[in-house]
Amino acid sequence: MNDMITMVDWARAQFALTAIYHWLFVPLTLGLGVIVAIMETIWYRTRDERWLATTKFWMTLFGVNFAIGVATGIILEFEFGTNWSNYSWFVGDIFGAPLAVEGILAFFMESTFIAVMFFGWKKVSPRFHLASTWLTAIGASLSALWILIANAWMQYPTGCEFNPATMRNEMTSFWAVACSPMAVNKVLHTVTSAWVLGAAFVLGVSAWMLLKGRNDDHCRRSIKVSAWFGLLGIVLTSISGDTSAVTVARLQPMKLAAMEGLYRGSTDQSIVAFGILNPAKTAGNDEDPFLFDISIPYGLSLLATHDPHAFVPGIEDILDGNVPGGDSLSVADRMERGRAVRGMIAAYSDAAAAGDSAATDSLARAINADFRHFGYGYLDKPTDAVPNVPLTFYTFHLMVTVGGYLVLFMALWVLLSWKPRLLDDRAPLVKKLWLWLSVATVPLTYVCSASGWIVAEVGRQPWTIQDLMPNHVAVSDLSAGYVQTTFWIFAVVFTALLIADVAILCSQISKKSLTDLDTPNT
């Protein structure tokens, strides 16, 4: 048993390691790809060779990041089969469908047109090259779309039905999976946040070049495009974040409660703007949840339901079954029903082996009637359904805080791109401080992006599939030592890839920025 627990921990650690490294490359690919396409469109319309030089500069950085991102993404998908084979068996028909579409359609699309994008400048017409650049950017976004749909299904399993004859979940509606409210919000929020990161990267690199006194006009061209694109991205991210909060409140109330450190909810529920959690607080004791907090009245009710007077359940309310719109079952009751479903599945197997079709038909109906409680049958105690509250709470508030800062940051850059008096030498200290702040905003945006994923994934624990399969049931039958070994191998390889990526990017930025990008090419 201890070896199994260790195996679960190491399998989760390995997947988290791979996902974190992969996500360092993906959002920059998504955001920078669209920015490059916009810049090439401006060149195509104006035929100003300065825009062509600017396009090629950012295209080089896009290509470096794209190549290394693909390597980590392939490994990530293989881990489902190596470390999470029970999960892959249980829901492979459903989870595999969007991944198959991603591989057959989106990945081949972007892989094909990226070749034209980089090597076709003098081999195809300008119009075809522009189309290839846009199709590469669109293909990258379509790859993200199908992967995010697969992830959203894990958060909210829909469009499927359990088949006791095969002991697997089987898809009943592809469109229910692809168009679920969780999928729509996740795709919009993730892709638009990637636009923000791509814009912040361009602004940061341009700011560094301005600090070095290099390619002033090139930097101003880059800033104009990326500032407007970043502002659009952060506004759309904020809007989709609001709709995502409503969706989470309805479909994953435990996650929302952890995001706010809320143990007992109420009507007119306030939201914590800033707080320090009490480490002694757990579900069921009488400790105050916070050592210190600043709250906004009615805020959480408004965020979760758009009604400032609505009831928002806390962790203990959910454990007790006090959830608006729910079936009023406590987690303990759901555990009982889950164990009953497991017993019925065993009885179904016996009846099927005996050829008793009447019994199997009756048991199949009973199983499907209560199957939504199935995963709870594997929990040892009700509090196992509570995620890591401190990690979820702090990363959520970090994401929101940095997101608010990015709204102001992008808005100021838009203003400066059209009224650049602050970037004139009349205020050198202010200019220098602002440019260094822009450079520092690049890693800060990465932190914001990573925090959002931590909230999404840690907040739904202990579930691999929400309510249907906890982590310890989803893993493969492997020794913990095997996963430990591959964990450290991947850690070394991914770290080397990250160092290589950063080194190549820095080298390209330094080398290309010394080139005169402000003089038309002849």
Per-residue confidence (pLDDT) for residue 514, from 0 to 100: 64
User: Is the model's pLDDT at 117 over the cut of 80?
Assistant: yes
Closest CA to 204 of 69, 371, 329, 32: 32
Q: Give kind and range of the element (H or E) at residue 292.
A: strand 290-296
**Among 213-222, 342-351, 374-383, which is the least confidently predicted range?**
213-222
Token code pair at residue 243? 């709709």
| Beta-carbon-side half-sphere exposure of residue 62 (alpha carbons within 13 Å) | 27
Domain boundaries, the chain: 2-250+416-458+460-513, 258-320, 331-382
pLDDT digit string (tens) for 119-172? 888 899 999 999 999 999 999 898 889 989 999 999 999 999 999 888 889 999
Q: Of the candidates 271, 272, 264, which has an alpha carbon nearest to the alpha carbon of residue 313?
A: 264
pLDDT of residue 258: 95
Cis-peptide, bond into residue 382, ω within 30° of zero: no
Residues in Cβ contact with 338 at an 8 Å cutoff, skipping those fewer than 6 apart: 373, 374, 375, 376, 377, 378, 379
**pLDDT score for 506:** 86
Q: pLDDT tens digits, residue range 441-452?
A: 999 999 999 999
For 192-207, the pLDDT digits (tens) are 999 999 999 999 999 9
Q: Say if residues 300 and 269 touch (Cβ distance below 8 Å).
A: yes
Q: Which residues contact 366 (CB under 8 A, 6 or more apart)?
A: 344
- Per-residue confidence (pLDDT) for residue 94, from 0 to 100: 87
User: Does the structure show a pLDDT above 90 at 417?
Assistant: no
Give 179's pLDDT tier (boundaries 50, 70, 90): very high
Are 395 and 447 in contact, with CB atoms under 8 Å apart? no
- Residue 40 confidence (pLDDT) above 90: yes
Is the pLDDT confidence value at 422 over 70?
no
The residue that leads in pLDDT, 436 or 19, is 436
Q: Which of 18, 153, 20 is nearest to 464 (CA)?
A: 153
User: Which has the closest alpha carbon to 303: 338, 262, 263?
Assistant: 262
* Res 313 pLDDT > 80: yes
pLDDT computed for residue 315 by the predictor: 95
pLDDT at 522: 38
Residues 402 and 444 sit within 8 Å (Cβ to Cβ): yes
| Per-residue model confidence (pLDDT) at position 477 | 80
Give the range among 11-25, 37-51, 295-309, 389-403 with minimum mean pLDDT. 11-25
The strand pair at 271-277 and 290-296 is best described as antiparallel
Encode 132-192 in three state secondary structure: HHHHHHHHHHHHHHHHHHHHHHHHCCCCEEEECCCCEEEECCHHHHHCCHHHHHHHHHHHH
